[in-house]
Amino acid sequence: MIQCYIDFTWASSPRQTEGHTMKRLLILGTLFLAACGGTRTVYVESTDAPETTVKVVETTDAPPVVTSPPWSAEDEFILDIELNYPGIIYVSEYEMIDTGYTVCESLRLGVSGEEVIWAILGAGGDTEFITTVVASAVANFCPEQSWKFQTL
């Protein structure tokens, strides 16, 4: 449960606690807490001069708002490789992503899954790593091409 709380206390003359100043305070407090969701409770504890105290409390069961950037297909691609390849990776993330997009571009142009794998293997490298990169590319960048690997 999240609890948002604002407590306004200020010294003022009786004239400032009337009308617009009090309304403005209640509106600002309510708007500030609107981001928490749930219901708002406003407590005006005192309007006697020279001090006015207003408490705005809001309680909600909503989860906290996450402000991190969205998870991208490229992030998922890299994570798939890191989780599925047991060895040490000597290639940069940029190079892996570039290879993944090249795999998908080739598949979309009509190259078979087997031809893609053999073309990359022909350049040299660890077979398990290459197949992991290809599988992750298809899963994250071009899942519509996965049918080309069903017979392998």
* pLDDT the model gives residue 58: 56
Tokens of 83: 């989780």
- DSSP character at residue 63: P
pTM above 0.75, yes or no: no
Question: What amino acid occupies position 24?
Answer: R
Tokens of 72: 């991208």
Confidence of residue 64 (pLDDT cuts 50, 70, 90): low
Evaluate the omega torsion of the peptide bond into residue 50 and state whether it is cis, within 30 degrees of 0.
yes
The 10s digit of each residue's pLDDT in 96-117 is 999 999 999 999 999 999 999 9
Question: What amino acid occupies position 61?
Answer: D
The 10s digit of each residue's pLDDT in 1-50 is 444 444 444 444 444 444 444 444 444 444 444 444 444 444 555 555 55
In this structure, the number of other CB atoms found within 10 A of the CB of residue 113 comes to 20
